[in-house]
A and B are shown apart, each in its own frame.
Chain A
């Protein structure tokens, strides 16, 4: 098994393409990483997540100063008010556990976006933060391998 990264968003909506942009080149630094690009999280993603040693959800954030990188460890969520087509990362982990017997260590890594209007290309703030976000994913992947996901810096220190 290896790690899986779900790169979320659409590059046609400006900074919404942050997830796929973070994922670019990651498989070179994290051996065996499978990248799945998706506009939204769907039930079938649970199977890919359940089979992985670790899972990353890479996305843009509408909260925070543009370019701000955040990393957050995730726990599976059991049945809640899932009303929509799309699922949250925690719900995908919950489905993985309920249907396939396991949910691996997982994290959400985001960069706060600036512009989500129609159009291709990331804002300068997001582009500048891509190396930091990738580094955060790499550190988390190493901690997942060590089975010590808490032994990692999760957000930018003041």
Chain B
């Protein structure tokens, strides 16, 4: 009798989802699916609003990465204005985006995933969380908090203390960086750098202990996509798109994000509110590509900061071409934290960083504008159309988590085939399936455009759809 196991909802990620594992007649895993069961409808209810409101409205999509939405939206509205924003505004937007990258990656690595690494995949879920981590490894939990706090300070210094800052605006940013603000960011930089470096050193020491996970957590060939600058260096706020193959070969380069529809299609599945973007030249569902920290390190020629470049060279020893295992999203996240800190230091040292020229003023000059940036989880696109009066008539949001949807499905299937025996639901086995998803650090609040969170449910269902076992947390 074939059976189906459903993990619903998946824990320690942002939003609501469930995992279904389909077993065959012999009880072996046949397939697995990741379903997102929440719906928000941001694309629809933005219609009829002024384009000038869009950065403020769309920043509300996410409480974890509001800055990414703010920036992608501001860039789309820059395009509607048809302006080049002042250089200082461009640099300040980069600093804010990197501050968010640091704090978001720190949450993912230290507080959501490190309980798995430090307390074990087979530990009781009551003892495998950030509170247990605080008791068993307080230094790690404290490092995570300190790093997040610094990243948050970077954002607050620039954009203010509000959760959803209305700071990036059409044409630039609302206010310049003050000298006191720059000094405040500088003051925490050394500690952030120390934390990033000691965490990377520790991770490399323990990586060998996770060989089985590295081999089975989404370890398969796909394309990778991310933004790079004109020299191919790592870029999070501006730049053009680059696609590379599993061998590391560049497939497309310097693609204008405004042309994303030429290269990326969006399929819709009946069992999920998460769209399934694919690389058009390879069709659906063959055109699987991954985005996010792993993809960014695979597509860039180099990072462009000294310490991160040293780490990247070492990281690349993990693959013959691109690094393929999704388990290495964690490692990539740590290198990006290091890069983010170094890059912020470089940008703060720019002579015009305190300039008060941070806003270009214009009326709407175009009827369509696309803005893209690298959110912590991957490339984020905001695509707006507006009538001559500036009222929005169409919105398309292409979110990082959605772009990893096809890869997450394959990851779940690969882990399930390796760890699930189909006869009995065991905690460690189910946690590994979840951890595979967690490696992508999906943000479902963003990607379904939901209010809410995620406990865990597992269903075992036979070939006829009959529920034969159920586990809930």
Contact = CB atoms under 8 A, between A and B. Distances in A.
A83 B455 contact: yes
B129 A95 contact: no
Interface stretch (A34-42, A67-75, A122-130, A135-143): A34-42
A78 B177 CA distance: 41
B131 A79 contact: yes
A46 B112 contact: no
A10 B456 CA distance: 25
Contacts of B130: 43, 82, 87, 95
B325 to A, nearest CB: 24
Contacts of A81: 125-126, 129, 473
Contact of A85 (B45, B64, B127, B141): B64
A131 B62 CA distance: 31
Interface string A79-109: 1111111110001001100111000000000
B100 to A, nearest CB: 14
A43 B144 contact: yes
Nearest to B455: A83
Interface string B95-123: 00000000000010011100000000000
A129 B453 CA distance: 28
Interface string A35-62: 0111110111011000000000000000
A82 B126 CA distance: 7
B112 A85 contact: yes
A39 B163 contact: yes
A39 B63 contact: yes
B135 A98 contact: yes
A79 B451 contact: no
Contacts of B152: 44
Interface stretch (B6-14, B209-217, B336-344): B6-14
Contacts of A42: 107, 111, 148
B236 interface: no
Interface in B139-171: 141-142, 144-145, 148-149, 152, 161-163
A84 B455 contact: yes
Nearest to A37: B163
B283 interface: no
A65 interface: no
B163 to A, nearest CB: 5
Contact of A83 (B64, B135, B163, B456): B456
Contact of A84 (B63, B64, B453): B453
B82 interface: no
Contact of B145 (A39, A40, A46, A79): A46
Contact of A43 (B132, B145, B162, B163): B145
B326 to A, nearest CB: 20
The main secondary structure of chain B at its interface with chain A is helix
B138 A79 contact: no
B418 to A, nearest CB: 23
B453 A98 contact: no
Interface in B58-99: 60, 63-64
B90 to A, nearest CB: 28
Given A43-B145, A44-B148, A81-B125, A95 B134 contact: yes
Nearest to A35: B161
A79 B135 contact: yes
Contacts of A91: 131
A93 to B, nearest CB: 11
A3 B125 CA distance: 34
Contacts of B161: 36-37
Given A44-B152, A98-B135, A84 B144 contact: no
A98 B12 CA distance: 21
Contact of B12 (A10, A36, A77, A83): A83
B349 to A, nearest CB: 27
Contacts of B473: 81, 83
Contacts of A78: 131, 135
Nearest to B129: A82
A86 B453 contact: yes
A143 B130 CA distance: 31
A84 B451 contact: no
B360 interface: no
Interface string A12-37: 11000000000000000000000011
Given A79-B127, A79-B131, A44 B453 contact: no
Interface string B244-273: 000000000000000000000000000000
B60 A83 contact: no
Contact of A95 (B127, B131, B162, B454): B131
A92 to B, nearest CB: 10
Given A42-B148, A44-B145, A47-B149, A83 B138 contact: no
A98 B148 contact: no
Contact of A99 (B45, B60, B145, B453): B145
A45 to B, nearest CB: 9
A83 B13 contact: no
10 contacts: A37-B162, A39-B63, A43-B144, A80-B131, A83-B125, A83-B456, A85-B12, A85-B13, A87-B131, A94-B131
Which 3 residue pairs spanning A and B have beta carbons closest together? A39-B63, A79-B131, A79-B132
Interface of A: 10, 12-13, 36-40, 42-44, 46-47, 77-87, 91, 94-95, 98-100, 118
Given A79-B134, A87-B131, A95-B130, 8 more contacts: A40-B63, A43-B145, A80-B126, A83-B12, A85-B12, A86-B453, A94-B131, A99-B142
